[in-house]
Amino acid sequence: MNFDETDKKLLLLLQEDCKQTTKELSYKLGLSVTAVYERIKKLENTGVISKYVALLNRHKINRDFIVLCHIKLAQHKKEFVLQFEKEVMNLQEVTECFHVSGDYDYILKLGVKDMEDYRNFMLTKLTALQHIASTHSSFMISEVKNTTAIVL
């Protein structure tokens, strides 16, 4: 899909704060409220805008211990891969899961309260999953960049 400069600016504005009214957006874009509304509906209907969410402050909800957990499966059989992916979807601590190339098969990003909470997660949930051969964890020291915005 081709985006003109107005669409690009509109998408950036919505990614910054999607609760802005069409009136506020129309002022910022120099368009009528109706034109902004129609552009947003078009972006929604074509699937460019897939959903609207509230981003939570990890510090306020006590989930600011961030772990990147690298997973290696015992084998790469289709049923092992599909079962692992199904099971990881049910782990509430996991916020992102990537099937990757390289030394490991998956990278999980999770947010927990602290090291003790992570240890409990590892012992009671992650190691309970079948077909995991090994894990390797890295812990966030500081957050350099964290954005959900995609710039076109």
**Which DSSP string corresponds to 87-142?**
HHTT-TTEEEEEE-SSS-SEEEEEEESSHHHHHHHIIIIITTSTTEEEEEEEE-S-
In tens, the pLDDT along 106-150 reads: 999 999 999 999 999 999 999 999 899 999 999 999 999 999 999
Fold (CATH) for 5-46: Arc Repressor Mutant, subunit A (1.10.10)
| Domain boundary assignment for the chain | 5-46, 58-139
Instruction: Convert 25-83 into a string of H (helix), E (strand) and C (coil).
Output: HHHHHCCCHHHHHHHHHHHHHCCCCCCCCCCCCCCCCCCCEEEEEEEEECCCCHHHHHH
Q: Say which CATH architecture domain 58-139 belongs to.
A: 2-Layer Sandwich (3.30)
**Which residue is listed with tokens 């290696």?**
72
Q: What is the dihedral of CA 130, 132, 136, 139, to 10 degrees?
A: -30
Residue 12 pLDDT exceeds 90: yes
Mean pLDDT within 6-23: 97
Residue 1's pLDDT is 83
